[in-house]
Amino acid sequence: MTEQSTIERFRYRIRRDASGAWGWLRDRMDSRPRFRLLVIGLAIILAVLVLAWAALARGLPDASGLVDYETPLPTVVRGTDGEIVHSYARERRVQLQFTDFPQPLINAYLSAEDKTFFSHGGVDLTGTANAVFDYVTKLGSGERAVGGSTITQQVAKNLLLGDEYSVTRKLKEMILARRIESVLEKEQILELYLNEIPLGRRSFGVQAASRAYFDRDVGELELHQIAFLAILPKAPERYGRSQNEELALTRRNFVLDQMVANDFVSEQEASAAKAMSLGLVTQRSTRSADAGYFLEEVRRQLIDLYGETAEDGPNSVYAGGLWIRTSLDMELQEAARDALRKGLSRYHGTRGFAGALATVNPDNGDLISQLRSSNLSINYEDLVIAVVTEKSGSSATVGLTNGETHRLGRVPDSLDVGDVIAVRKSGSGYSIGIVPEVSGGFLAQNPQTGRILAMQGGFDSRLGAFNRATQAQRQPGSTIKPFVYSTGLDHGLTPASEVPDEQFCYYQGSRLGEKCFTNFGGGRGGGTHTMRWGLEQSRNLMTVHIAMDSGMENVIDTFERVGIGSYEPFPAFALGAGDTTVEKMVSAYSALVNHGKKIEPSVIDYIQDRRGKVIWRSDNRNCDRCNMDEWDGQPMPRFGARGEQVMDARTAFQTVHMMQGVITRGTATRLRALDIPLFGKTGTTSGPTNAWFVGGSPQIVAGMYLGHDTPRNLGGWVQGGNTAAPMFLDFVRASKGRWDGDQFVAPSGVRMVKVDRRTGKRVFDGTPSDGPDASVIWEAFKPDTVPPRSTRADEIKAMREQIIEQIRAGRALQEGAGLGQGRSDEPSDFVEDQGGIY
């Protein structure tokens, strides 16, 4: 018999049997009315079920999307040494592969949630029947029935449907579970479940929960801890609370019994586990460096690049699972933080209570709850944050974030209910802690790469996110002068050129009239001096003369090229009257050290996606021939030069070389005690309202300022040399091992010539010295600008001018004392008498 005839015979039999069955059904329906009603009823029920299934299934999510599903993961941040320093997370999530889960953990979840997982097709009919029965018995009671969901159904609920409590959701869950089983292997489903299940304490997945409850990785858990994690899917917020420990123990022991019943553990192992306490941790160890301002700057840049949440794209900050390598150097960061805090506290001195750190409104409810939700805190010595809950006369009651309340005695009259203050333990009680009202910013950078190594934008980032290192617009004062001098060097002057230190006036127009500049303190100067001396002593009048002789438009152009800012071509801006930031000033000084090449400052080195692929890097230089399959016999390929040449390399070195004299014998001589090659410049703005120092070594450039957020007078004795420079001194001393003492290297085209320090004339006798009293020094010149040899008459003239200057200074001091303008508490070793702006 052929195959075709067999098929035809089979079809004939089907038609015959179907026709006979239909005839039998029709005869029964005609002869038996009850049977007819039964058939019609079943048909209606079947039609309703089909229509209901179609209605439920029509709008369901596509289960095949789970094949490429990616767990929302936090972004992990590493420091310059590769160590994890922080993570950006609103939920605790860690993604593991199936092979990473310990088998006892899998067994515990199967015993607790779905022991037939590997045999059913997505829905456990027995469990579903039990759930239906429980639902019917509890109908109208307000109690929630048991779920009866398989692990696959829970995956459908958690990832595709949501947690709505309804029969409709349960039916949709069952449909989706069948679909999920058709597109994913059992191991893939279990991997999704163990990574996504919500387990309390803001943790999703077993690894995150293991850290949250036990501060351990899943591979380090013991049996009783594994069993505890397996009870959490039922009621994570109930079982995870200390007051429900007995409930948790009962449920945990039930899971252990189920593991015994399923032959996953022995009776002895289960008994030993039952004897153990829960052992939950109240506080888990965190991997977060005390670098809040730096890390917030990284977060801000990441959000600008990729967005904040999963809706913004696959690489978002809070869901993309990015790995960020930053330039954060924790040794330098801690040194910068401590140096700024010490400087602010040193200025604050014994002024006492500086006012409330913040205020919460008593009309808005419980003050302690408001304090908790404010996220204000402090990490300094033994201080903690508190809110004033009651005030009575000279005493007050404060509440801490942990709910404790304490009485304070002898509180300031200005203190009021709702004020947030810092307090510290004092004997058996608490007393008010002092946080300086004055603030400031500090930033350190590698001048060769532009990498920001440390950033402190205030006393403590937990008290406020405003970053004074990058966001505060402040007048830089005399720290801007090196760029005026560098403009002069580009327009024919040399470090040895003589510049008048005399009053400078210019006509501003018929409405404003004539404007005259003076040195700091009102001095009109006198005589002529070398450019070097003018920069070392921060002479305003000499700076204005250089700026006007070089052209203010050219000076402003220099400011713009190095990135300080863009201003109108008015002489006041040559003395630091325009606003800028610490970051911009440090970047500009780094360009000087880097032989005139400006590299944009960066806090992120590179970004990797969750799979480790680099998707962004700050250094975008190409390296030709770096990826060859084999060596071609040619020299090793190298990266090209980095940065933009914004200044003549020779000019940049000349400026740095002059600023080394600021440390040796100028306005920052207190830094001479460090005994390493340094350059820098102090700055003080009129008032004074800001005190600055910017400088460093060939490897590290740092900048800092001190001032009130709303600028106001700091006190007549405050200047950069005695207020900001000591911060840099503390910074270097705290990180002394990072300062190797390398000298600043001159670029090609610079000639080092022996000159008389006072006259700037070339000399052939004597040995140059870096000492503060040296008469002969090395000076840097461009080849065609070397000065002629000095004569004996020049030396006599220089000595005479020095004596006259000393006499004038002495007379000015006596006149100031006679007019009652002196300060008995002014530091006797203060040398910056010519800084800041007019």
Residues forming the active site: 113, 478
Cα–Cα distance measured from residue 520 to residue 759, given in angstroms and rounded to the nearest whole number:
24
The three-state secondary structure class of 119 is coil
Query: Do residues 293 and 467 make contact, with C-beta atoms less than 8 angstroms apart?
Result: yes
Q: 135-166: buried (b, 16+ CB within 10 Å) or exposed (e) per residue?
A: beeeeeeeeebebbbbbbbbbbbbbbbeeeee
Per DSSP bridges, beta strands 203-204 and 92-93 are parallel
Q: Could you tell me the sign of the dihedral formed by the alpha carbons of 537, 538, 541, 547, in that order? A: positive
Type of residue found at 283: Q
Report whether 506 contacts 571 (CB < 8 A): yes
| CA separation for the pair 33, 645 (Å, rounded) | 101
CA distances from 526 to 142, 477, 503, 518, 700 (A): 93, 22, 8, 11, 37
Q: Which H or E run includes 616? A: strand 614-617
Instruction: Please report how many Cα atoms fall inside a 13 Å half-sphere around the Cα of residue 9, on the Cβ side.
Output: 6
Closest CA to 96 of 71, 79, 65, 123: 71
CA torsion angle 112 115 121 124 (round to 10) = -70
Strand duo 384-392 + 395-400: pairing? antiparallel
Sign of the CA dihedral 193, 197, 203, 206? negative
By the 10 Å C-beta count (0-12 exposed, 13-18 middle, 19+ buried), 85 is classed as buried
Read off φ and ψ for residue 516, nearest 5 degrees: -120, 135
Distance of CA 413 to the CA centre of its chain: 38
Cβ pair 729, 745 in contact under 8 A: no
The type of residue at 386 is: A
**Could you give the CA distance from residue 96 to residue 202 in angstroms, rounded to a whole number?**
18
Return the SS3 of 440.
Answer: strand
The DSSP-derived string for 324-370 is: EEE---HHHHHHHHHHHHHHHHHHHTT------SEE--GGGS-HHHH
Residue 371: name the closest of 409, 419, 413 by CA: 419
What H or E segment, with its residue span, contains residue 527? strand 525-530
Rounded Cα distance between 542 and 500, Å, is 6
Cβ neighbours of residue 549 under 8 Å, at least 6 residues apart? 488, 491, 493
Instruction: Tell me the β-bridge partners of 257.
Output: none
CB contact set of 277 (below 8 Å; sequence gap of 6+):
none
C-alpha distances in angstroms, 215 versus 117, 194, 231, 289, 676?
Answer: 29, 18, 18, 18, 45
List the structure tokens of 57.
Answer: 């299934």
Per-position DSSP letters for 782-835, written without gaps between them: -GGGPPPBP-HHHHHHHHHHHHHHHHHHHHHHHHHHHTT---TTS-TT----S-
Structure tokens at 516: 């005259």
DSSP H or E stretch at residue 253: helix 245-261
Is residue 660 a contact partner of residue 673, using CB atoms and an 8 Å limit? no
